[in-house]
Amino acid sequence: MNSSLDLTFRALSDGTRRSMIRALARGETRSAGQLGRQFRSAQPTISKHLKVLEQAGLVERAIEGRVHRFRLRQKPLRDAGGWIARHQAFWTGAVDQLDRLLLEVAGDES
């Protein structure tokens, strides 16, 4: 139903993957090898993280011969931000209303 946003949040639950997203934030492409050197991780580990990011739609892969290049996709990040912003607005508005209600209840009792 909303599995894509679920996948996004799950992909973002790991520190290395968040760092990889930061490394791709400017929109340029990086190869798996470049990312591996940057994070001093074994290549299979980097490949595994990239696969999770790819499945969540957070990166897209371009294959040039033996080199796999990755680029960040912003839409899933925006969607995740939308969920958070919506609930922040909900509770901020609700607490404003609670404030008024508690004042009314206190007024009725005094």
Partner 1 sequence: MSRDEAVAEVRRRFSAAPEKVFSAFSEAHLVSRWLSPSPGFALTVLHFDFRVGGAYRFAYHVPGGETMIVNGSYRSMEPPSKIVFSWNIEPPDEHAGLQSEVTVTITPDGTGAELCIRHEKLTQAGAVERHAQGWRGALDQLAALLNAVLAARTQKPAP
Q: Which residues bind partner 1 (CB under 8 A)?
A: 1-3, 5-6, 9-10, 12-15, 18, 21-22, 25-28, 72, 74, 77, 80-81, 83-95, 97-102, 105-106
Q: Minimum CB separation from partner 1 for residue 36, in Å?
A: 21
Q: Which is nearer to partner 1, 17 or 66 (CB)?
A: 17
Q: Minimum CB separation from partner 1 for residue 92, in Å?
A: 5
Per the structure block, which two tokens stand in for 92? Answer: 């901020």
Q: Are 60 and 75 in contact (CB under 8 A)?
A: no
Vertex 30 angle, CA 4 and 33, to 5°? 105
Q: Euclidean distance between the first and final Cα of the chain, in Å?
A: 50
